[in-house]
Structure 1
Amino acid sequence: MNPPVVSIVAKSGTGKTTLLEKLIVEMKSRGYRIGAIKHDAHSFSIDHEGKDSWRLTQAGADTMLITSPEKIAMVKRNPNDQEPPLDASIQTYFNDVDIILTEGFKRSAMPKIEVHRRERSPRLLCRGEEHDPTLFAVASDEPLELDVPVYDINDANGLCDLIETRFLS
């Protein structure tokens, strides 16, 4: 059985990562094991040119693992440059966590919390031109009248209470 997944969505520069950091810290303080997935629509590299791991990947390794007593990192080439389905990545890499918090995946069918900042955009992604039924809360820097609960953008404790009630009880 897969752990529950909650996606934090917003327009770029709204504060998704900042909210995720706060949620992870709060959920860890409650004793949960947390998985995190960051969606990147562009190409990225965790290798640094000239380092051994980079050299091995450049040489053609399809999977390259770096291990240490503290952590493990993997670089795995996607066949045919196709991003695998999120469900497949979750089944493969996240069987040891209680919940997964993602950043991005705004077009997915996962339950979502949208981050809203008045100065960034007057309209929400999930309650703008389209009505996303997977939205279950908004973290905002201004009061909003919506069909889902609205939390202060800094209320990680309240949002974690909601996540716990909905997904971990």
Structure 2
Amino acid sequence: MRIYGVVGYKNAGKTGLVERLVTEITGRGFSVSTIKHAHHQFDLDRPGKDSFRHREAGAREVLLATGRRWVLMHEMRDEPEPTLDELLSRLAPVDLVLIEGYKRDQHPKVEAHRAETGNPLIAHEEQTVRAVASDVPLPGLQVPVFDLDDTAAVADFILTQVGLV
């Protein structure tokens, strides 16, 4: 499976860029899946729901299924967080997996950057950042810089990088 990451600091536009890239790339006929790394504890479930009650009772995994989608929730309990490779191995084959987060992992990435956040560029310290999508020009950067809103250009770059075009 081909993978490409989107990284950046909070409020840099990562999620919006991933969302637009999924729309753009699937619109070109490619299949796409995503992985999103969350740094905080989250729960898709709600207290009182049957699946929540199953997990609270001690179930290691709970699979919810409907006629439209299914989701598998795996309780970590005392297990370490799975690696990106372990998570990738659980996905069904697709043309491209876009990964939001995991900025220190070794896959190629594009960095989303908004000047107003005041954060430094990850591209200066992380060699796996192959391009930056920014809301301001970034002259002198050693990697290509795209307009953050030019989704087609960023998609072209990623698809070329992974060998899909």
Superposition TM-score, scaled by structure 1 size: 0.92
The answer for the alignment partner of 1:15 in structure 2 is 13
Q: 2:60 aligns with which of 59, 62, 85?
A: 62
The answer for the alignment partner of 1:115 in structure 2 is 112
Report deviation, 1:41: 1.8
Q: How many correspondences in the alignment?
A: 163
| Match status 1:124 vs 2:114 | no
Q: 1:137 aligns with which of 127, 131, 134?
A: 131
8 Å Cα contact 2:15-2:100 kept in structure 1: yes
**Counterpart amino acid of 2:147?**
D
Q: 2:50 aligns with which of 29, 52, 64?
A: 52
The answer for the alignment partner of 1:41 in structure 2 is 39
| Match status 1:151 vs 2:146 | yes
Classify the secondary structure of the residue corresponding to 1:81: coil
Query: Alignment identity in percent?
Result: 38
Superposition TM-score, scaled by structure 2 size: 0.94
Q: 1:163 aligns with which of 145, 158, 162?
A: 158
CA RMSD, 1 decimal: 1.2
**Deviations for 1:68-112, whole angstroms, at most 9, x for unmatched residues?**
1111111112252311111011112x2321111111111111111
| Match status 1:98 vs 2:95 | yes
**Counterpart amino acid of 1:28?**
T
Query: Which is further off, 153-162 or 71-80?
Result: 71-80
Structure 2 stretches lacking a partner, 5+ long: none
Structure 1 stretches lacking a partner, 5+ long: none
Give the Cα–Cα distance (whole angstroms) in 1 for the partners of residues 11 and 24 of structure 2.
22
Give the Cα–Cα distance (whole angstroms) in 1 for the partners of residues 42 and 54 of structure 2.
17
Give the Cα–Cα distance (whole angstroms) in 1 for the partners of residues 80 and 39 of structure 2.
12
Give the Cα–Cα distance (whole angstroms) in 2 for the partners of residues 18 and 60 of structure 1.
36
Q: 1:77 aligns with which of 64, 75, 81?
A: 75
8 Å Cα contact 2:131-2:146 kept in structure 1: yes
